[in-house]
Structure 1
Amino acid sequence: MENQLKYLNGYRQEIKDQVASLLENGKLQSVLLSRHGDIHNIRTDKALYDYTIAIKNRYLRKSQPLSKVQYDDKISLSHQALGLHSFVSRVQGRKTKAKNEIRISSRLKRVPESLLRMVVVHELAHLKEKDHNKAFYQLCCHMEGDYHQLEFDLRLLLTLVEHDQNPYT
């Protein structure tokens, strides 16, 4: 069962046992659906960019600009990544041009908005904090008060997907 719950590795055993029981009894889907019902309609790269910029402008107005935000089919769950933040620095003549880019897994096109928001907030937090440290998670919680619960719920969804039980397909 431990391998079946790989997205919950850092959680206490009693939580993993409870999730395993819900999964085995076919009730984990209904738990997730009761918390997060409908999927969002942010399907295009332009819509994702606008959505991300709105959050950035609300909480990180003075941070570095974003040059690109897009969905990416190549982001795989094998690395347990649903989003990537990259900082690209290029020298052109005597000038150095820097770009911040965010790529979000295309798998998140068909999830509830709250789960997409959690991943966007996570990637935006990397504009200020590169490492997953205390300051990083404080910033995530500042931008999304339910950050830790949403991260857990996303891990539940990943567990369901792994077991061919995605409630959002």
Structure 2
Amino acid sequence: MTNLIMQSLPYLNGYQSEIQQQVQTLLSQGKLADFLIKRHPEIHSVRTDKALYDYTIAIKNQYLRKSQPLSKVIFDDKISLKHQALGLHSYVARKQGSKIKAKNEIRISSRLKRVPEGLLRMVVVHELAHLKEKEHNKAFYQLCCHMDGDYHQLEFELRLLLTLIDADQNPYC
């Protein structure tokens, strides 16, 4: 039974089997969406790249004021869930004459345009943390939790939403 659960819940592979079984039960009973709606009844209002940039810069200025600047923050239609990526942070270095210009860019999956604000914030916080910590190590997750105390809970809830999307039960569409 555990292998079957892990196959049908790819976003929860690292979680204990008891949690996976609870999620599978709620999913099969059609109650998983209700859980998310109770926790997050409304979707955010960030719809444009400009609004996403402003939203991200506000968080950056609150927690990472002295970190490297961001040159671009956009919604990206090309980011796929197949690789379980919802956001990408890239450091682009370009040579212009004798100078090297570097830019930090954050791309957020367009699929996150219609999700609760907390779930969008979790992905933005994750990508911002990469400005200081490139690897997913202890310091990285400590920084994420510093920027959002509910980081791990929101990450879990985003994984629940992805599970619902795969099961064609998205409560936010």
TM-score, normalising length: structure 2: 0.97
Give the match for residue 39 of structure 1. 43
Q: Structure 1 residue 2: deviation in Å? A: 2.0
Give the match for residue 146 of structure 1. 150
- Between the aligned partners of 2:45 and 2:138, the Cα distance in structure 1 is 32
Q: Structure 1 residue 47: deviation in Å? A: 0.1
Question: Is the aligned partner of 1:20 residue 2:24?
Answer: yes
Aligned length: 169
- Between the aligned partners of 1:30 and 1:78, the Cα distance in structure 2 is 25
Q: Structure 1 residue 4: deviation in Å? A: 1.0
Give the match for residue 94 of structure 2. 90
1:10 to 8, 11, 14: 14
- Between the aligned partners of 1:37 and 1:113, the Cα distance in structure 2 is 10
RMSD, aligned CA: 0.4
- Between the aligned partners of 2:7 and 2:72, the Cα distance in structure 1 is 36
Give the match for residue 72 of structure 2. 68
- Between the aligned partners of 1:3 and 1:14, the Cα distance in structure 2 is 15
Segments of 5+ residues of structure 1 without an aligned counterpart are none
Please give the residue correspondences for 1:148-167 in structure 2 after superposition, counting only pairs within 5 Å: 148-167=152-171
SS at match of 2:169: coil
Q: Structure 1 residue 89: deviation in Å? A: 0.5
- Between the aligned partners of 2:119 and 2:38, the Cα distance in structure 1 is 14
> What residue identity is the alignment partner of 1:153?
E
Give the match for residue 132 of structure 1. 136
SS at match of 2:108: strand
Q: Structure 1 residue 3: deviation in Å? A: 1.2
1:108 to 112, 127, 130: 112
- Between the aligned partners of 1:105 and 1:138, the Cα distance in structure 2 is 24
SS at match of 2:9: helix
